[in-house]
């Protein structure tokens, strides 16, 4: 079961770095035109309390250079599927979005490049969701079927489930920089400004905070901080809430010309083994 659509993503001034490269942060907004395609169908799911909650985001941003005057073109698709347990029984229902972005080469303030206006790849995004009933009692939160037009169904497609911890796997040959995982010195104090209508901390809080922590870590290692996040893999194990305090534990590697930082978000007093969020970020 798949829905396809196209649309545009308007860029903000802060979405483009000084060298013209696109940031990772604006890419998830490219889901907006895709959500509209399935909005009517989603009403049926929501009526039963089943909500697709993000559990993994993978993204890559293009080099451009780009200017904010031209919107990015969005092409993407949503699909429904299920995963199974060791006994072959339906374990969870998933809702995945794959998006490709293109944009016109340009500049916002500096002189335009020679190939201004040429259409080039601007990035890619995959957002994986798991259906849950977040406001139901704990024993009723698992969703193993959906309802549409009054009929229950299980999406026929089957997908392999990747454990959140797999995000910490680095490419073969990666050279560790410095010691093992270290705790960033800056605690992350959570308030309502970090939350959304799903009643927990918004998923985009974590990539922003992790890139800041990665830059501090690179500074401690004596590495250049004139780098920008280019590829992201982030998996969510459980949510965080306003009023809590989080800490980042991270480690850096050298992979070719890129620096790759892997890490976890944990709550106050929690060990890294009970991480809430796993992240891998490649910076160049």
Q: Looking at per-residue confidence, does 61 or 35 come out higher?
A: 61
How many structural domains does the chain have? 2
CATH number of the domain enclosing 93: 3.10.129.10
For 117-143, the DSSP string reads: T-EEEEEEEEEEEEEE-TTS-GGG-B-
Domain that holds residue 67: 2-153
For residue 159, being part of any structural domain is answered with no
pLDDT tens string 91-123: 999 999 999 999 999 999 888 899 999 999 999
Q: Whose structure tokens read 């009526």?
A: 47
**Which letter does DSSP use for residue 158 in this model?**
B
For residue 272, being part of any structural domain is answered with yes
Pair (10, 146) in one structural domain: yes
For residue 202, being part of any structural domain is answered with yes
Pair (135, 9) in one structural domain: yes
* Residue 128: partners with Cβ closer than 8 Å, 6 or more residues away: 54, 55, 56, 57, 94, 95, 96, 97
Where is the domain boundary, 153, 185, 213?
Answer: 153
Where is the domain boundary, 100, 130, 153?
Answer: 153
The listed range with the strongest mean pLDDT (31-40, 107-116, 254-263) is 254-263
Pair (140, 227) in one structural domain: no
> What's the rounded mean pLDDT across residues 184-213?
95
> Residue 1: pLDDT above 70?
no
For residue 19, being part of any structural domain is answered with yes
pLDDT value at position 179?
Answer: 81
Pair (127, 69) in one structural domain: yes
Where is the domain boundary, 153, 184, 219?
Answer: 153
> Residue 39: pLDDT above 70?
no
pLDDT value at position 41?
Answer: 65
């Amino acid at each position: 079961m798949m829905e396809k659509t196209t649309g545009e993503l308007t860029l903000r001034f802060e979405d483009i770095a000084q060298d013209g490269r696109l940031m990772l942060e604006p890419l998830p907004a490219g889901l907006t035109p895709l959500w509209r395609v399935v909005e009517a169908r989603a009403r049926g799911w929501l009526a039963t309390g089943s909500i697709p909650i993000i559990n993994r985001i993978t993204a890559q941003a293009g080099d451009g250079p780009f200017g904010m005057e031209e919107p990015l073109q969005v092409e993407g698709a949503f699909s429904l599927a299920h995963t199974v347990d060791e006994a072959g029984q339906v374990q969870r229902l998933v809702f995945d979005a794959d998006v490709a972005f293109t944009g016109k080469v340009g500049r916002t303030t500096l002189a335009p490049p020679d190939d201004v206006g040429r259409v080039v790849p601007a990035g890619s995004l995959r957002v994986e969701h798991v259906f849950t009933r977040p406001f139901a009692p704990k024993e009723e939160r698992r969703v193993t079927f959906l309802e549409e037009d009054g009929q229950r169904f299980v999406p026929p497609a089957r997908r392999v489930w990747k454990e959140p911890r797999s995000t910490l796997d680095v490419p073969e040959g990666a050279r560790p920089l410095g010691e093992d995982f270290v705790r960033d010195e800056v605690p992350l104090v959570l308030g309502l400004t970090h939350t959304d209508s799903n009643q927990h901390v918004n998923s985009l809080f974590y990539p922003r905070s992790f890139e800041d922590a990665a830059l501090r870590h690179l500074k401690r290692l004596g590495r250049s901080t004139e780098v920008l996040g280019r590829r992201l893999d982030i998996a969510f194990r459980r949510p965080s809430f306003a009023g809590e305090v989080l800490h980042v534990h991270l480690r850096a590697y050298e992979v070719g010309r890129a620096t790759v930082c892997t890490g976890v978000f944990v709550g106050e007093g929690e060990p890294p083994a009970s991480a809430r969020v796993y992240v891998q970020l490649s910076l160049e």
